[in-house]
Amino acid sequence: MLAGGGSVCDLDALDAPDIGAVLDTSESMAEVLCRPIPRVPALRGRTVMLLFYEASTRTRHSFELACKALGADSLTLSAATSSVAKGESLRDTMRTAAAMGADLVVLRHPASGAAHYAAALGLVPVLNAGDGTHAHPTQALLDLFAVRRRTGRLEGLRVCIVGDILHSRVARSSAAAFVKMGAALTLCGPPTLLPRAAGPALGAAVEYDLGAALRGADVVMVLRLQHERHDDGAGGLPSLGEYRRGWGIDAGRLLRHCPGALLLHPGPVNRGAELSDEVLDLPGAVVQDQVAAGVAVRMALLYRILEGGRGAE
């Protein structure tokens, strides 16, 4: 899948060995990042266009750092400050990227399926950096990477994802990734934000009671409450207090149900919103590991897409 300059829109086409190979390449990249001069010229002369139709700080910076570390040129096109704001269609923007000689487009877009659409144009390979509520494959891979580094394994882990599953591309991609790697997955959240269909769609158990969901978990992933996506007026979330009553993560709940579990959060953390203030200081909180892992994993994906998966060493 990653060989031959293909696009990566989600993790559907990757099986466990593919994912394992990306994680192994990521280890090599992490080693590069630990050197005094964290640079390898593996992608020198290559141009990566970062096309961001949606606000993003860490993902965009993470990709920019990954490009720099590999010697690739990156240029960033933000929707608010470009021809996109003048009404240019995604199709025409992709044509522009191709005409500029981009070797790869990293696309962040508010519409689910935008990466598939852009990739299907066949102009430039696309690496999905988040599309609507559909997929965020690099986030899922960095979650796997951060967890594997701490636990040494993924198979057999009990993973619990808590929060607004319905509106979360991170939940969809990370859930798919953990399940592919043999983890047992439980999804937990308010019934209005966790449809029953999520279980069969992702191969996961659905549990509305937080205590039952957390019990015995090895990994707890807490999702950000996406206020910007609760625009359907359907009353999916009456209030923050109502949410915290049922699904707020605090140290007491974690220590009671799953002491020693790793705590993941895709960021940005609304400290004191879906997570209580103190949990980020628990030893199991690996949020900063995730950020660091992000650069290495994105380097690995850029490298494998642009160089067809030949070894990174």
Residues that bind other proteins (CB under 8 A): 89-91, 109-114, 116-117, 120, 131-135, 166, 169, 172, 195, 197-198, 200-202, 232-234
Distance CA 271, CA 269 (A): 5
Q: Phi, psi (5° rounding) for residue 147?
A: -70, -45
Q: Which is nearer to other proteins, 25 or 128 (CB)?
A: 128
How far apart are CB 135 and other proteins at their closest, in Å? 7
CA 34 to chain centre: 23
How far apart are CB 224 and other proteins at their closest, in Å? 16
Q: Which is nearer to other proteins, 125 or 130 (CB)?
A: 130
55: its two tokens = 């606000």
Distance CA 303, CA 90 (A): 25
Q: Which is nearer to other proteins, 200 or 283 (CB)?
A: 200
How far apart are CB 70 and other proteins at their closest, in Å? 30
Q: Which is nearer to other proteins, 6 or 132 (CB)?
A: 132
Burial of residue 112, with CB atoms counted within 10 A of its CB: 0-12 exposed, 13-18 middle, 19 or more buried = middle
How far apart are CB 131 and other proteins at their closest, in Å? 7
Crossing angle of helices 16-33 and 169-180, rounded to 10°? 110
6: its two tokens = 């293909």
Collapse the DSSP code of 50 into the 3-class scheme (helix H, G, I; strand E, B; otherwise coil) and give the result.
strand
Q: Which is nearer to other proteins, 11 or 72 (CB)?
A: 11
Radius of gyration of the chain (CA): 19
How far apart are CB 199 and other proteins at their closest, in Å? 9
Q: Which is nearer to other proteins, 190 or 309 (CB)?
A: 190
CA atoms within 13 Å, Cβ hemisphere of 157: 26
How far apart are CB 134 and other proteins at their closest, in Å? 3
191: its two tokens = 């019934």
